[in-house]
Structure 1
Amino acid sequence: MNASGDYLITYERSAGAGNTDIVARIFNGDTQAVGDEFLINSLTTESTNPEVAALSNGDFVVVMEDEYGGLGDIDVGVTMVSGSGVGVANFVAFGSAAEDDPHVAALAGGGFVVVWRDEEGDGSGNPGIKAALYDNSGHKDDGGTFSVNTTTTGNQSDPEVAALADGGFVIVWTDSGSGVIRGQRFDATGNKVGGEFTQNYSVEDNPVVAALSDGRFIVGFEDVDNAPIDVDIHGTIFDPRTGPINGTSEGEVLTSRKDGATVNGLGGADTLLGQAANDTLNGGTGADEMRGRAGNDTYVVDNAGDKVIENAGEGTDTVKSSVSFILGANVENLTLLEAAAVGASLNINATGNGLANTLTGNSGSNILDGKAGADTMIGKAGNDTYVVDNAGDKVIENAGEGTDTVKSSIAYTLGANLEKLVLTGSAAINGTGNGLANALVGNAGGNTLDGGVGDDILSGGLGKDVLLGKGGKDVFVFADPVGAANADEIVKFKHKKDSIFLDKDIFAAVGTKVSKKEYFEGSQAQDKNDHIIRKGNKLFYDEDGKGGAKQVLFAKLDKKAVTDHKDFDVGDFVV
């Protein structure tokens, strides 16, 4: 029916001498004839199997099989008919050696699509399904004729087509090689949407397809598994709709109605279920449970009580969270979002699992901890902290994105744009800086800390450590209990350039700075004021000078290193 409520009825009529014509007549909505019947196939003497579609401009289009010249060359013919029953144009749509079984559908956005079986197929040697797009006046789309089927093994036949509400269309056909019905969605410009789908019930034949009023479509077919004794009719409804599925403020169970959907909960404690493709599940403000199933799913988390559940082998999945979140099993990636609510803190944290996770921070100061696995951690802006425990861990920072810290339980070298390194645990591991002004802090084991060329701060922590300042104006920190077991070696100390920093709580007998009378070079203290003693290349701390307490070794220097009281500073050490 066209926009005026009229119908175009087509039918075959014998033309004598074994020929067949296609004739037509228009009827109005009251089933009254509008004008006389008229000939459709003005170019040929043998035409069969007509099909008609009403176009959005009020005209009609008729497709048919045409035999030109009586030579057995079957082609697809197209006739444009005005709404008043006047033939507008007749043309041969396609001209290969053998084409048949044409079908047509008018598209929601104007124009129409014609589909047919092509004996020459797509170059595989087997018949295939072809299609072409036209505008309302019958001009072929610039894309020309295109192949429909991706599967090329076996016979592809019996095409049918239906227009969809989104302006696209769906084509179904029989794959006789495998005995299944196949289908393919297209957008309004003829581009494939997703891959082929199958309706694999048993052994199938003779498909039909129709659009439903709510945007879905139904595929009907014959089940011929038990033919000729028993032939059944089956149908399956498919849902191509792309709009999101939205819940209410109540707790609900929301299931994706198609592959690749967006499912939104609201304020309740919802359960959201995805399908086999790439779904987006957003539970809303309640404590929600989200299950994406197969596909590369995305979960939006905004409540500490949200649960994301994935099984092994169900795609590469991503959580986008505006609260601190720990990845559950079988989820690969976690991205921190900006604050969801006014006044909410950006300083939230991301924690991985045993997989090779990718953790991405926001503009706040985040803690990114990939846990086991070779993780990639991207902090972005803010003063971020990275927890490293695998030699395959990667830390990525851009210039100007805050002052960032790596806490590592393995030997580690700071990458570009990272400022601080803190070694954790008690293993004898090493820490290396980069070209920046770094702060390197050791753990409870014996560490070698190499600051590199920048102005670095080196604090060995517990254990006998080696502190290499190298280039730059470096600070060597002693902020842990002194004793031979914790005495560190300072390599390449530069007099009047580098400094030795003494924590005021550890070196409590020293004032706010090491005065000239508190520094003594000799074997032992000579009076009560001698608290920092250099004996050869060793530095000692004596808390009571010439009193009863023994001096305690806390550092060793290169033998040729020069020091005086001005090389020491005293204060609070904060990493």
Structure 2
Amino acid sequence: MAVDVSYSLVQQGNTEFLSFGTSANADVVGYADGGFAVVADFPGTAESTLVTYSSLGNPSGQFFLDMLDPAVSRLGNGDVVMAAATTTDIQVLIGEANGGAIVTSGSISFSGGSATDVAGLKDGSNRYVVANQIEFGGSDRDIRVTIVDGISVVLSFQVDASTADDRAPSIAALNDGGFAVAWERHAGAETEVWYAVYEAGGAVRKAPTLLDTDGTINQHPSVTALASGGFVVAYEDNEFFGQPIGINHLQFSAAGDAVASYLGGSIFADSTDPSATTLSNGLLLTSFTAAGNIRASLFDPAAGNPFLTDLVDPFVIAGSGDAETQSAVSALNLARVVATYKLNDTFIAEAVFQLERTTSGDGDANVLAGDEAVDRMFGGGGNDTLDGGANNDRLDGQAGADTMTGGTGDDEYGVDDAGDVVVEVSGGGDDTVRSAIDYTLGANLERLILEGGALEGIGNSLANAITGNALANILNGGRGADTMSGGSGNDIYVVDNLGDQVVEGAGEGIDLVQSSATHTLSANVENLRLTGTASTTGTGNALDNGMTGNTAANRLFGLAGIDTIGGGAGNDTLEGGDDDDVLSGDAGDDTLLGQAGNDTLDGGTGNDSMRGGTGDDIYIVDSVGDTITEAGGGGFDTVRSTVSFTLGSGLDTLELVTSQAVDGTGNSLANTITGGAGANVLSGLGGADALIGNSGSDTLDGGTGADTMTGNAGNDTYVVDNAGDAVIEGASGGTDTTRAGISYTLTANVENLVQTGAGNIAGTGNSLANSLTGNSGANALNGADGKDTIDGRAGADTLTGGAGNDVFVFEAEQANGDTVIDFDGNGASAGDSLRFTGYGTAEDGALFIQLNATQWLIVSFGGGIQDTITFANAAAIHASDFVFV
């Protein structure tokens, strides 16, 4: 099993600055509940301050004391102690942890000094121990340790009464009640680090011992107790990994015996001023100054390979680019740490950081266990077991059927397999499941977030919060007063509790509420569907709503917005409201009221009553029992019918909406009549009508008035009887015919012209290959462009082919007297031809004889039929130019 573990240090909240101006020499102590206290002094004065902070990082109190270079710790009863050595004595202040009041303060009556550190003992008492540097003149300095109860000295002694130059003590209370002291010793240009261990009463457990014999500069020690009972000394070392100065660590047992030679360190160039602390989960964190920034390294004292951060690039606590020095760190609860440091040699800054761990498994069945840090666990493949422990963890088993236990804290689970199991105890925090599959919340889980697909999320008996994703989700809170948020997809909400809340943002999809009770849509929710069998009422909102009833008799009100309302199977009452609404009755004898706006009313099956009100309304007719009431001046109204229909009074437009061959007829108004997919006959009657065909082969007859006729697809027939009639035909819209009783020119995309009546009228083609057919009068037919077929029929017609290889058709006993204006046969480039029908064939004796330069005679049936044709251009006609058929 290969498990990859990495750590990060994440700042919580903002960096804060102590509010008392220029300050230095800060120290900090963290509380088990997450609060902390910071001390610092004011350079140029003889005063220091202690500021307490709540677990939320807010200042809660402040104390002042006449001292410099103070240190701070916490006592067994929870109070905080601040201590500092003056030139004559040691000043002490004990205050409540929340800064509420000073418990006691005063002077410890021994000689003073400098470089003070303090630690509250862990022997069950409220005693504490102070270590400070005392001066004997010249280069003779020593370290004094004083055990204190309140401000009463229990015991005071020098750790080494030699003439050596001992400085800068650091002290830590051990878990078994004893304490360890470390200090630096100056020997000429070289420095050493020494340490000693004592019982709580002061008895020697480990006599002063040289800590490191390597290097010429070993200094500035920081000692911290380990959760295991031992301790670690962090210090500067110039013989560590070849760097000018690096931070090294040595680990010892509670007895003071070395248990790890080099526990770890930082080889970040020129690392100085270490401050070590043991986090609540047992890991060791050391801050230090490096290149003008504050860095930190993380170690595991219990591991054979303790390095948890990159030696070359450790954590950054402060890296703004300003001068940041003199850091101090102290552990808080839940693997958090508070850090202080000096900024630009002026201000003391403080910030709180959370240790976060990311653990990733492999394809095996991994068992991953967290602790008080924020854990992010990813199981990988296999059926994994994940336990986050305390804190707000993120557990994702990934592939496989995984078991995930969050422990305390507001945990988050990733679910992607139907076999995944989430275990959460009652009162274990406000927990969230993020699911990539359909999911139902188990016991004690409060929140569900759907990820990655069009999924269904179901709650439990708690008051759940269920959130969808960007796709179409189904959200069902189950029992309890739930809050459901669908996100940007087209979501469905199931409402069954008066306390249920549906939350939708503007523009977040088209959403549906399914409600078994009377319901009014909340903001930004578009659609409502009534479920169950009760006669209930549904009300919309200001949006464009879609509303549907159930099988009972419902009342549905759209209010504002462009609403679409469907009644269901009962005898429903549907009312649209102010805007352009769509009302559909479905089954039953329904009442539809459009009110204001341009409404669409469809009663569905049954004998329905429809009243559009004001506006340009649309009525759907599918039964002879449907009634339409339209007031005069009530707008421009349309009927859409699946049966043959004639517009009644006050109705303007008719649309046939069926593939059947039904007919549509207008009234005396200027109607618009549109066909369906079948072969329709559209008749405008009076008025200037607009007739529009569809995909069938339609017949369009506008009647009296200047009508506009559009055939669309299909082989359509247009009836033209008014010079103002307009025919509109699209390209590839079928092979279409205009039947004109007046002179007429084919419009674009219409192929055929048939002249009706007996008038002497003209007909002209277009750029297509037209078929032009005259009536019984003397017509003038002109094919214009294209390869046209021109047949004048009866009467003395004048025929012009125009451009293209045209065909002139002459019918027996109808061609006599016809004139062709521009014939060009095979002898010319145009290539026109003549077709004679009804004369018999050449084999039957039919002849085409030239009479003179312009006239030719068609003879058939032994001279029984003789028709004379004139070619105005005296064309040379060859035998290949004509054919008898």
Q: Normalization by structure 1: what TM-score? A: 0.50
Q: Normalization by structure 2: what TM-score? A: 0.33
Bigger Rg, which one: 2
